[in-house]
Structure 1
Amino acid sequence: MSNPPRSLSPQRVRRLPIGSRPKRIDRTALVNQPTFRLVLVWGALTVGCGLLLLNLGRLQIAEAPALQKLAQEQQMLYMRPFVPRRQIIDRTGTVLALDRPVYTLFAHPKLFKESKQAIAEKLAPLLQKSAADLTKKLDQGETGIRVEYALSESVADQVANLKADGLELLQSQQRLYPHKDMAADVLGYVNDEHKGQAGLELSQQRLLERIVSPVRLRRMGDGSLMPDQVPGGFLNVDDWQLQLTLDSRLQRVAIAALQQQVTKFDAKRGTVIVMDVRDGSLLTLASTPSYDPNQYFKYPLDRFKNWALSDLYEPGSTFKPINVAIALETGSVKPDTPFYDEGQIQVSGWPIQNFDYSSSGGRGNITLSEILEYSSNVGMVHVVQEIKPSVYYTWLKRLGMGELVGIDLPSETAGQFKDKKTFLESPIERATTSFGQGFSLTPIHLAQMHAVLANGGRLVTPHVVRGLFDSKGQPYWQPNFPTKRPVFSKATSQTVMAMMEAVVSKGTGKSAQIPGYRIGGKTGTAQKANPNGGYLDRAKITSFVGVFPIESPRYVVLAVVDEPKGGDAFGSTVAAPIVKAVMGAIISLEKIPPSVSVTSEVGR
């Protein structure tokens, strides 16, 4: 018989100890626990937002200018495009200097798909170099080898047509002087940075260098320019050219004649100057030896100065006409005043004699014109002794002795002349000055002084710059030169011109005669001063200055040859033939008709 199910009797229920109660659940804590978390999250979010707001404020306010500048640098491109220097042309429009695009060839052998020898053999005929030399150069590294620089566009195109991997052409601008050394002493040259270093390239840098303002361009994210942001015509440049007073045709003739005489007499150097006496413009300013400005780096530094402007010398007898003009202008002598030529005299214990004293002795009474014809040193001393010393000094200073002439080329040197006290107190100083020694000046200064005699007595400023002109020949800018300052009267100038004509027709300047033309001139053969004092043994400077046409003087032509050798080296034999050749070229180029009368009555 089964047992009946057991019932849950009260006796089997567990009873809690008397005095204890069951533990109650904290419903408030349960409710408040999610709130705390919520507050914690919101607090963290609030703090984070606050920090973000602070950072935003820092970025938008404190660092805004710097960040804006950085953004502009990334988004904007400021470009100053390279523009070529202005061309230089001569008076006839012949281009003397211009910019041209050139290319530098780099090789990266690691990119070659052919052998180095194969590449070298392809380049050799284009670069006019041997394949062996090019192969040796290509062996210098794996990349960035400069094979050649300053390649012309035609050669660069031929290199590009090879389509050889590993060859790179970089374009740049180069100054080109088509006529090489023809006018280097005037033009100068520019360095690798395209800055003038000598001649007009230096002194006229402001006129030759085109100024282009930077252009602001906007870039896209990949760095490329936004086409619609490129301003139209921002690369347009003017067509102005710097025109000179030089005549390249005459310059070539002068250089050829000069080089011939320098070679014939084994001279150190020489220079030729042709000046238009009306305004001081120079048609020729040539020197030898010179240099090729296209390859200036191959020449010594002393070639870069124009010694006709920078080196001083004692002019000798070519200065005598200047002293004659001073004596006439001050009224110290008259054209018919006689002078006694002893052939040799002493002044303050110093002997002075004529260059031909050993063969001709003294000439006795001679006229002022004959003093120039025979180039008498003694006669000139007597002429200057008639001038009051203070007056003589004042007139020499009026002619700019010891000062710059103000030519528009760089590196001009001022002449050396004694101070007033020494000059006034020393008779020998005045005596040597009378025949062009004891002081020094530049050839350009002597040419300027003779221009004063030729143009009627006015002092003009030598210059080579005519101005800026456009491609149609219209002037944009022209230089302003000092006003022509009167020095001598027209009557004095004409008298001295007649005397200089007699020098060529009857005196020491006969070798400068050109049939059918009236020409004036003066020879000069001076001892060469020693930088340490005194004079160098057997060293001399020969010169000749010519003026023509005498009936209406327009041109002064000066030739100076330094240290010609030989017993027959004089101004009449060395320099006068140069001047004659140049004057002949002027007559041909300018189509100057023969003089109406070639008979001079001076000295009769």
Structure 2
Amino acid sequence: MLEGRSRGELSRVALKRASRSRQPALSSGQRSLSGKAGPARIPRRRRTEDGQHLLEQLGLWLGWILGNRIPTAQQLNFRTWTIGLVLVIALFLTGARLIYLQHQQAPMLQERAQAQQRAQLRPFIPRRSILDRHSIAKQQAELLAVDRPVYTLWAHPRLFGRRTPQDIAAALAPVLRRPVEQLTEQLSSTNRAVRVERWVSQEVADQIQALYLDGLELVSERQRIYPQKEMAAEVVGYVDLDHQGQAGLEYAQQGLMERTVQPVTIPRDGYGQLLAAEVPEGLLQSRETVLQLTLDMRLQRAARAALKTQLQRFQALRGTVIILQPRTGEILALVSEPTYDPNRYFEFDPGLFRNWAVTDLYEPGSTFKPINIAIGLDAGAFSADERVYDEGRILIGQWPIQNYDYHQRGAHGWMSVTDILRQSSNVGMVHLMRRLDPRQYYNALVRLGLNERSGVDLPFEPASRLKPLRQFVTVPVERATTAFGQGFALTPLQLASLHCIIANGGWKVQPHVVRGLVEKDTDTLVWGSAQPQPVRVLSEQATLSVRTQMRDVVDFGTGQSAKIEGYEIGGKTGTAQKAGVRGGYLPGKRITSFVGYFPAIRPDYVILAVLDEPRGEDAFGSTTAAPIVRSIIQEIITLEGIRPNAT
């Protein structure tokens, strides 16, 4: 009976039954191993039971390891050593990992942690604006260049969704003010990204966003705008698509144009968001400084209008007008024609980007005669009332030199220094400058600034060119041609700077167009353009005599075209042969010019006008350039309210 059996017997009975139940019965298609041979194939059920048996054995072994059975002392020691060894290896690997992280990867991990916990902000600061010389705070200054936020509109046809390119084009056409057909063709040309429109203004961008069209993208950019267009292009220059200056001040003063702001570190919260309370005050309200120039846009317009008139009248190749403040060297106006619109610079000849008043050398002709007379008077080679005989034509070695009117007048006879300047006598100038020691003459020219740059803050200025000292001293014709302004070369701006020496009483100043960086709201000069101290190179008495003589040139001589009744104006005409690139002079080509001082005796303005290759038999400095200066002085009189008889 079951009740009388022990637990051990019951266990043995259960094991026997289990073993019997695991023996498979032979099917009708199989035979026993002791009988006649049938296929010796292990049934699928048996393979499954063998796998279960293997798992049972594995479980028993793991149970022994884990202590399901009571271990012996030897087994217990083995387990202890095994677990201890595993722990030691784990501790060693952990320590090695900690050492690696602390010493090898510590900087990198620290940088990652700081990047997660803090953020660096650099506010967007546009390129500095450029304005003229007038008050900014009082809104009197004229804006010459400014950055504005713009967008580029991109279309991604694959993201249009259920809308067709025709639908998108129909929605964009009234906003972009473009034909629907043109936009449809543009959007249907490819499945890739399409640049639909560039330089989209903020207002238009807002309208596009309000359409809520899938597949459109507005990419923020900066655009440099020049509100005055071509009016100051030769001075301001332009920037390319990468916002890099390529001409004018945009190129020469690239460092001043780009504003730099130190980045600010702001902590983040646990979600990576910036902590607004930690943002420093005034981060987005930094003091705005602008680049202020010495230009007076009122005079710039007057100069350009007068120059255009004369260029068209005489069909000249090109022309320039320069207005300087003689005591400071400030450039009040600098105009070159033809010019370009910096907003659309890509439509113009690249040759126009070069400001030839600053970059191109030429022989000045008779406008240099006042400077030579000042040198002679300062050196004591002759006096202001000196008289020489003008034969009308002379030979220097084998080279003939004659006056421009020799064939009409012949010899001028005895002439004073004032007469020589008034009648623009070449022969008279040669006789005067012969009285000056050649080496002393050469050194005086160098002292005034020949053979060097003027130092203007505009790009690409070359040094003026004077013959070598040995050639100048030993070859008489070199000194003779220099006496009436030929045989050497300088730029129009360099010539105007030399005339500032006479106008201001003998001081050499540096021409410049940058006044400095100014706070927009207060007109406070934050940084001023550093200028060298003026250097005296001529005496006050010598320059005063020349200014008086130049007043007579306008009142009674070749400069009468610049005369304005009731006002004293000094000036000198110039008509020079045009030198060729390979030497010599171009037949029939000339450069005409006129330099004026206003007022004549104590000038506040030095004005130089130059025309390159004017056409016509009457194309002289007195007919082409002097009227330009006269027109500008009339504008100055009106703007400044100068009364007649002012000196």
TM-score, scaled relative to structure 1: 0.90
Q: Deviations over 1:206-251 (max 9, x none)?
A: 3332221122344567654444454443333222222211111110
Q: Is the partner of 1:531 in helix, strand or coil?
A: coil
Cα deviation, residue 596, structure 1:
5.3
Residue type at the aligned position of 1:580: R
User: Residue in 2 aligned with 1:507?
Assistant: 557
- Give the direction of change, closer, same or farther, for the CA distance of 1:505–1:120 in structure 2 (3 Å limit): same
User: 1:519 corresponds to which letter in structure 2?
Assistant: I
CA separation in 2, counterparts of 1:305 and 1:339? 43
Which one of the candidate residues 239, 244, 259 is aligned to 1:190?
239
Unmatched 5+ stretches in structure 1: 1-26, 598-604
Amino acid at match of 1:239: E
2:141 counterpart of 1:99? no
Contact in 2 for aligned 1:103/1:170 (Cα 8 Å): yes
Check if 1:87 corresponds to 2:137: no
**1:67-146 maps to which residues of 2 (within 5 A)?**
67-92=109-134, 93-112=141-160, 113-146=162-195
Q: Quick one: distance in 1 between partners of 2:241 and 2:341?
A: 15
**1:158 Cα deviation after fit:** 2.3
| Residues 85-484 of structure 1 mapped to structure 2, 5 A cutoff | 85-92=127-134, 93-112=141-160, 113-219=162-268, 224-470=273-519, 471-484=521-534
* 1:132 Cα deviation from its structure 2 partner: 2.5
Structure 2: which amino acid aligns with 1:55?
Answer: R
Provide the C-alpha distance between the structure 2 equivalents of 1:243 and 1:31, rounded to a whole number of angstroms: 97
Say if 1:202 and 1:29 are closer, same or farther in 2 by CA, change over 3 A: closer
What is the DSSP-based 3-state SS (H/G/I as helix, E as strand, rest coil) of the residue aligned with 1:197? Answer: strand
Residue identity opposite 2:559 in structure 1 = G
| Residue aligned with 1:450, SS | helix
Alpha carbons of structure 1 residues 541 and 222: separation in structure 2 relative to 1, 3 Å:
farther
Counterpart residue type for residue 469 of structure 1 = V
- Kept in 2, the 8 Å contact 1:208–1:242? The answer is yes
Deviates further, 112-121 or 561-570: 112-121
C-alpha contact 1:504 1:511 (8 A) present in aligned 2 = yes
Distance in 2, Cα, partners of 1:596 & 1:206: 43
Q: Deviations over 1:11-48 (max 9, x none)?
A: xxxxxxxxxxxxxxxx9984533543454344334323
Assess if the C-alpha contact under 8 Å between 1:104 and 1:170 holds in 2: yes
- Distance in 2 between the 1:313 and 1:506 partners? 28
Identify if the C-alpha distance between structure 1 residues 448 and 28 changes in structure 2 by more than 3 Å, giving closer, same or farther.
closer
Asked if 1:51 is matched to 2:99, the reply is no
Task: Give distance in 1, aligned partners of 2:451 and 2:70.
Answer: 114
Matches within 5 A, 1:513-532: 513-532=563-582
Corresponding residue for residue 591 of structure 1: 641
Counterpart code for 1:439? F
- 1:336 positional shift: 1.9
Asked if structure 1 preserves the Cα contact closer than 8 Å seen for 2:394 and 2:402, the reply is: yes
Change in Cα spacing, 1:473 to 1:30, as seen in structure 2 (3 Å) is: closer
Match of 2:596 among 546, 562, 572: 546
Measured after TM superposition, the shift of residue 553 of structure 1 is 1.6
Does the CA-based 8 Å contact 1:551-1:595 persist in structure 2? no
Letter in 2 for 1:547: Y
Cα RMSD of the aligned pairs, angstroms, is 2.1
Q: Secondary structure at the match of 2:516?
A: strand
Whichever residue aligns with residue 240 of structure 1, its letter is T
Once residues 193 and 54 of structure 1 are traced to their aligned partners in structure 2, the CA distance between those partners, rounded to angstroms, is 51
Q: 1:408 & 1:213 partners in 2: Cα distance?
A: 28
Deviation string, structure 1 residues 53-87 (Cα, Å, up to 9, x no partner): 32223223332223223443455433433211222
For 2:471 and 2:634, how far apart are their aligned partners in 1? 44
Provide the secondary structure at the position in 2 that maps to 1:243.
Answer: strand
* Residue number among 557, 563, 587 corresponding to 1:537 in the alignment: 587
Note the alpha carbon deviations across 1:361-381, whole angstroms, 9 max, x for none: 211112211111211111111
Alpha-carbon distance in structure 2 between the residues aligned to 1:455 and 1:431: 27
Alpha-carbon distance change, 472 to 332 in structure 1, aligned in 2, over 3 angstroms: same
> 1:360 and 1:225 mapped to 2: Cα distance?
88
CA separation of 1:48/1:367 partners in 2, compared to 1, >3 Å: closer, same or farther?
same
Q: Distance in 1 between matches of 2:204 and 2:158?
A: 24
| Preserved contact between residue 549 and residue 595 of structure 1 (Cα < 8 Å) | no
- Structure index of larger Rg: 2
Distance 1:374 1:77, change over 3 A: same
- State the distance in 1 between where 2:70 and 2:411 align: 146
TM-score by length of structure 2 reads 0.84
Residues in 1 aligned to 2:122 and 2:380: alpha-carbon distance in whole angstroms: 65
Report the counterpart of residue 33 of structure 1 in structure 2.
75
- How far 1:122 sits from its partner (Å)? 3.0
d(CA) in 1 for partners of 2:71, 2:114: 58
For 1:398, what is the secondary structure of its paired residue? helix
The secondary structure found in structure 1 opposite 2:246 is coil
Tell me, in whole angstroms, the C-alpha distance in 2 between the residues paired with 1:446 and 1:307: 13
Structure 2 residue runs without a partner (length 5+): 1-68, 135-140
Aligned counterparts of 2:561 and 2:173: Cα–Cα separation in 1:
54
Q: How far does residue 406 in structure 1 lie from its aligned partner after superposition?
A: 1.2
Letter of the 1:90 partner, please give it.
D
Letter in 1 for 2:378: E
What percent of counterpart residues are identical?
51
Say which is worse superposed, 418-427 or 333-342, in terms of deviation. 333-342
Name the residue aligned to 2:615.
565
Instruction: Supply the distance in 2 between the matched residues of 1:353 and 1:159 (Cα, whole angstroms).
Output: 73
Matched to 1:108, the amino acid is: H
Question: Does the 8 Å CA contact 2:363/2:490 hold for their aligned counterparts?
Answer: yes
CA shift at 1:204, angstroms?
2.6
- In structure 2, relative to structure 1, the CA distance for the partners of 1:236 and 1:194 (3 Å cut) is farther
Question: Could you report, residue by residue, the CA deviation over 1:504-544 in whole angstroms, capped at 9, with x for unpaired residues?
Answer: 11211111111211111111111111111101122211111
The answer to whether structure 1 residue 491 and structure 2 residue 491 are counterparts is: no
Aligned to 2:41: none
The answer to which of 122-131 and 524-533 deviates more is: 122-131
| Larger CA deviation: 271-280 vs 227-236 | 227-236
For residue 580 of structure 1, the aligned residue among 608, 621, 630 is 630
Report the Cα offset of residue 196 of structure 1. 2.7
How far apart, in 2, do the equivalents of 1:596 and 1:101 lie?
49
Cα shift at 1:315: 0.2
Distance 2:154 2:278 in 1: 34
Q: How many residues align?
A: 571
